[in-house]
Chain A
Amino acid sequence: EVQLLDSGGDSVQPGGSLRLSCAASGFTFSSNAMSWVRQAPGKGLEWVSGISGSGGSKYYADSVKGRFTISRDNSKNTLFLQMNNLRAEDTALYYCAKDASRTVTTLYDYWGQGTLVTVSS
């Protein structure tokens, strides 16, 4: 059974940093691209970043480019999102999502439960 366990969310001040993690199990982690998708309170879904199965290709939304870094540790079946210089508009529930392919196709067949990031002074 595929499981994605998101963690690392917290309440931080503007300009602060957080590192989100997504622990994966139930599939061959390195065989699938992964992404982070966020959802602001009461709002819709917004793609944040994606990474290929090997980790060699990375993609970012313009809204987070230069501030967020996606990475993965295939030996530990874990996806990460390093978030720096956080802004109020980054407040959201962050989901990790499993791509249906090794490359970043952005078709998501499994999602984590989400981890909440709140940016406020």
Chain B
Amino acid sequence: DIQVTQSPSSLSASVGDRVTISCRASQSISSYLNWYQQKQGKAPKLLIYAASSLQSGVPSRFSGTGSGTDFTLTISSLQPEDFATYYCQQSYSTPPTFGQGTKVEIK
């Protein structure tokens, strides 16, 4: 199975901050990397697919970059509604695997 490792596991940031979350795959997955946001008590929501494509309806402050094994999710200006846990997921091969999550908290 392909392992997917996120960093950091948590971070504290203020409204307006630029936030970056990293994801590394144990082998090359081309651009088959997706990002989800999960708020407390809610289902995950797709933010970014194919490493850099913004899902319909997702604010443009979210962006994704990377290919191969190293990927990044960036929130350009953190908003109050962005405090949540973020997961990366590889869809290159079955079984799909998720990172362990990055919890973004209010500073």
Contact = CB atoms under 8 A, between A and B. Distances in A.
A109 B99 contact: no
- What range describes how many residues of A lie at the interface? 20 to 34
Contact of B43 (A47, A61, A62, A95): A95
A113 B55 CA distance: 19
B94 A107 contact: no
Contacts of B94: 50, 59, 104, 106
A59 B50 CA distance: 22
A114 B44 CA distance: 10
Contacts of B44: 45, 95, 108, 111
Contacts, number: 50
Contacts of B20: none
Given A45-B89, A111-B44, A100 B101 contact: no
B55 A114 contact: no
Contacts of A107: 34, 46, 49-50, 91
Interface residues of B, number: 21
Contacts of B91: 105-107
Nearest to B45: A111
A117 B37 CA distance: 23
Nearest to A49: B95
Nearest to B43: A111
A31 B50 CA distance: 21
Given A111-B43, A111-B44, A113-B43, A47 B34 contact: no
Interface of B: 34, 36, 42-46, 49-50, 55, 87, 89, 91, 94-101
Interface of A: 44-47, 50, 59, 61-62, 95, 100, 104-114
